[in-house]
Amino acid sequence: MGHILLTINPLNDIGNPLTLTSTKEIIPSFPIQKVVQEALRQQGDTGYPQAIILSGCSGSGKTYTSMLVLKQLFELAGGGMETDAFKHLTASVTVIRSLGTARTASNRESSRIGHFIEVQVTDGTVYRTKVHCYFLDQTRVVRTRPDESNYHIFYQMLAGLTAEEREKLHLGDHSVETLRYLKSFPRLQEDAEDAKRFFDWKAALGVLGIPYLDVVRVLAAVILLGNVQFVESSSCLDVDVEGEKELQAAASLLGVSEAALRQGLTTRTHNARNQLVRSRHDCEEGEQSQEIMLHVWNAQLGFSGFARIKLSQHASTVGTAGSRASKSMTALNNAVRHATDGFIGILDMFGFEDVKPSHLEHLCINLCAETMQHFYNTHIFKACIESCRDEGIHCDWEVDYVDNVPCIDLISSLRTGLLSMLDVECSVRGTVESYTQKVRTQHKQNPRLLETKSSDLRSFAIQHYTSKVQYDATDFLDTNRDVVADDLVAVFHKHRCSFGFASHLFSSELKILGAGGMEPSPRGISFRISPTSHSELLNGDEPVSTLTQDFHTRLDNLLRTLVHAKPHFIRCIKINNNEQPDLFDRHTVSKQLRAFQVLETVNLMAYGYPHRMRFKAFNARYRSLALFHQLSRTDDRAIEDCQVILECFENSIDGCTRERLGHISISWAVGKRHIFLSEGARQQLEALRTITQNRAATLIQSTWRGWRCRRRWPIVRQGYHMRFQQMPPPVPPPNAVASNAAQ
């Protein structure tokens, strides 16, 4: 569709599709190569940041396509796949994918982590890379649907650990079938494939400098704690534990005593009028505390890995990691770093999901998908309409598209949006029923908020740009608060915990507990489960921000980055919902094409003015189409030069070209500040520019070669003459000599 690429996922089996390693033997298609070349060209010509934005529903192949784009970018500007920078980035992607990939109902290799890979390019060469990760699906580690799996890393670890490592990690007698958090879904691949992926993941950790044994200790403790359950005690004053062996093993792996871990899971400290009161959990509260603890470990482990990846990426781009650099080299690196404002970003965010029932994480994921669709609408449709109107350009074809701003406002409006109302309900310690009732009252006239067929008052539905999605708000408040009690955090202070990696993960929280020189002990305060930049506490005992506030802030920051970049869109399509290879389902594909407004985009490209260029930029790119003496080449006569170039372009279009294009418009218009072009006109301009440049290059080469031959000819002729003179006289044949003697 013009400069917008539409890709189809054939759902073929290509091994591990979410890593750069899987793309080594794949030859990127010409359209992907063209997108990368155009981004590199525009970044080199203007120094302006570029963003390659991939969008599509879950399972449409966004992540794999982003790997192909990244590989092509390194081949064109990064020195190829054998460079240290590419190997470092490959290791980063491998670690991220194993930690954040799981099987869902619609995608067997669903990436639960969105990423924005920022590639700094200077003078057409890759300088450094940054990986920004967006992680939402934290509850999966303890709650998986019957038709979904836990994160792949757990299955790969069980298949790839050696017998000695399994014994050290207390996993010798365990398998997928005996672990509660993994047995809900059978093993995804054969053990050999899982073991191979685990070996690659282990090697990637070594490249990034992340301690392998420390990470697997935490992962093993997480799945072992899943087998611990709380039951009512006969004394009614305490709770008993089923799975004492697993509790002891988890405590040993985390470097704490079993008693300390049990106390952290079964007690809660409250601050009542500056008096500390400690209460005992019942069975349900113990289970909740256990799940929260595992959420914390999963989030902290992922955050630590991502932070290490960022540090490693940053260090590997300037000099050698770990080497001692001189002051002059440091100053030079800093100067170069500040000079590389232009970058090429590759954005692969969450795909739209319709899970039954959907929860708060899915609402945030779908908000992200709605935002990316709105960004596309704004850049492709709205900007075209407003630019033509502002500069007095009349277009025979009226741009018509569906705007999804009402849905975004329903979810994220500052005061009345669903997420803002959820934050208010969390602050007043409300209930789910009161929250859903307030939502229905506030938005009863909003056509985007729909009632559900069920009688459950805790559910509601939203009409998204793709389809209607029903949400279950039962866990909305707890998920949004995203807090962990300090009783669990205090267990891992270095005085009580011999596992330095664990104490390091909670260093900021433990620092707050030990403020003022006090002993780091529970004081009735709460911390965020997900690591956040807001470490302050509200009223001294609660986190300032919530899960949705942090996500919304990061999404806004991402949009600010994209607004200042030139976007290149890749729209990914899934051919069916059953993951059957090469089976084209018409209904599934048509639904995605309508949601992406592909037909509206095609009509805009064919009959509208989707492209606009400043006069100076137009002259700089297409001035070779006119004769040299026809152009003034001055800024004050830029419009006249543009008109001369367009006249030459019009004269070059013959009848055969017009007949071949058919109904496709090759029109243009001159505005107040821009030249407006249809897609057909842009393509013909580019084709004519290529022909003109090739013709000029051929003429230059032939002229230079002729001049070079003429200049060298006297020397060559003299050499031939000297060789001819030095040659001995020809010797007559023997028969001729005998004949002469006889005569």
Tally the C-alpha atoms within 13 A of residue 691's C-alpha that lie toward its C-beta. Answer: 10
Centroid of chain to Cα 521: 39
130 annotated as belonging to a binding site for a ligand: no
**133 CB contacts (<8 Å, ≥6 apart)?**
96, 100, 113, 114, 115, 302, 306
Q: What is the DSSP letter of 133?
A: E
For the CA atoms of 529, 408, 347, 102, the dihedral, rounded to the nearest 10 degrees, stands at 50
Type of residue numbered 653: I
d(CA 701, CA 71): 34
Phi-psi region of 123 (alpha: psi -120 to 50; beta: other; left: phi over 0): left
In the block, residue with structure tokens 């963003």? 51
Give the 3-state secondary structure of 120-188.
EEECCEEEEEEEEEEECCCHHHCCCCCCCCCEHHHHHHHHHCCHHHHHHCCCCCCCHHHCCCCCCCCCC
The CA distance from 572 to 570, in Å, is: 6
Bridge partners (DSSP) listed for residue 116: 132, 347
- Known binding residue 61? Answer is yes
Which of 93, 304, 114 is CA-nearest to residue 204? Answer: 93
Per the DSSP assignment, residues forming a β-bridge with 275 are 272
Cα torsion 465, 368, 302, 75: sign: positive
Helix axes 679-726 and 638-652, enclosed angle (nearest 10): 80
Place of tokens 């049990």: 262
- Three-state SS for 630? helix
Residue 535 C-alpha from the chain's centroid: 26
The reply, when asked if residue 62 is annotated as ligand binding, is yes
Contact 570, 3 (CB under 8 A): no
Strand residue runs (E) in 532-640: 537-538, 542-543, 566-574, 611-614
- 358 is an annotated ligand-binding site residue: no
Is 286 one of the annotated binding-site residues?
no
What backbone phi and psi angles, to 5 degrees, belong to 93? -65, -40
Cα(187)–Cα(178) distance, rounded to whole angstroms?
12
- The DSSP symbol for 358 reads B
DSSP code of 529? Answer: S
| Neighbour-count burial of 59, counting CB atoms closer than 10 A to its CB (0-12 exposed, 13-18 middle, 19+ buried) | buried
268: which DSSP letter? E
Pairing of strands 674-677, 611-614: antiparallel
> Could you tell me if 363 and 436 are in contact, meaning their C-beta atoms sit under 8 angstroms apart?
no
Instruction: Classify 588 in phi/psi space as left (phi over 0), alpha (psi -120 to 50) or beta.
Output: alpha
Greatest alpha-carbon pair distance for the chain in Å reads 144
Whole-angstrom distance, CA of residue 377 vs CA of residue 400:
11
Backbone angles phi, psi at 240, to 5 degrees: -95, 160
Q: Where are the beta strands (DSSP E) in 11-159?
A: 50-55, 101-102, 110-111, 113-122, 125-135
Helices (DSSP H) in 318-352: which residue ranges?
327-339
Report whether 384 belongs to an annotated binding site. no
Tokens 């704004």: give the residue: 378
CA 362 to chain centre: 17
Of the candidates 353, 380, 348, which has an alpha carbon nearest to the alpha carbon of residue 364? Answer: 353
What residue numbers does the annotated binding site cover?
56-63
What residue numbers does the annotated binding site for ATP cover?
56-63
